[in-house]
Structure 1
């Protein structure tokens, strides 16, 4: 499966999930309830995305999606609210911070 097969919104949601999970794993966070709720909402979006109805091997595709989002998330994005990742130049509302809303 080629990484270009994934819809942009699915990759962005996975990247937001990764960033939220990392923020939740950080020590001494006060906003854990907000982060846990965000992680749950993102998990539901990922699990029920229509793309999975068309994927040949869903488990392999999910693994590739996680790897793709992780790789893209490490390419120098700046931190947004609650530790979420934002696209460069984002001023309040990219897919990374808004995907959870």
Structure 2
């Protein structure tokens, strides 16, 4: 499912989530701030109004968002 119409703030938040998760995976100690940030981003992503639109209702849309964010992060 190809979605090219994700809102920029949603893609940016997903990219921040990926970066935060990777930073948390690299750090064995002193992770409270990273864990809090990951929780905040997860909540924000889950509550984004995009998921209430026709384009966002499909579970494949969430997968595609993660795929696009990872592709942008790698570029």
TM-score by structure 1 length?
0.67
Task: Give matches, 1:21-40, under 5 Å.
Answer: 21-30=21-30, 32-40=31-39
1:4: Cα distance to partner?
Answer: 2.0
Structure 1 stretches of 4+ with a deviation exceeding 4 A read none
Q: Which has the higher helix share?
A: 2
TM-score by structure 2 length?
0.89
* Larger RCO (CA under 8 A, 6+ residues apart): 2
Match for residue 64 of structure 1? Answer: 64
3-state SS of paired residue (1:3)? coil
Q: Which runs of 5+ in 1 are unaligned?
A: 76-101
Q: Which runs of 5+ in 2 are unaligned?
A: none
3-state SS of paired residue (2:67)? helix
Number of residue-to-residue matches in the alignment: 74
Cα contact 2:56–2:62 (8 A) shared by 1: no
Separation in structure 2 between the aligned mates of residue 62 and residue 44 of structure 1, nearest angstrom: 14
1:29: Cα distance to partner?
Answer: 4.2
Match for residue 17 of structure 2? Answer: 17
Separation in structure 2 between the aligned mates of residue 56 and residue 43 of structure 1, nearest angstrom: 16
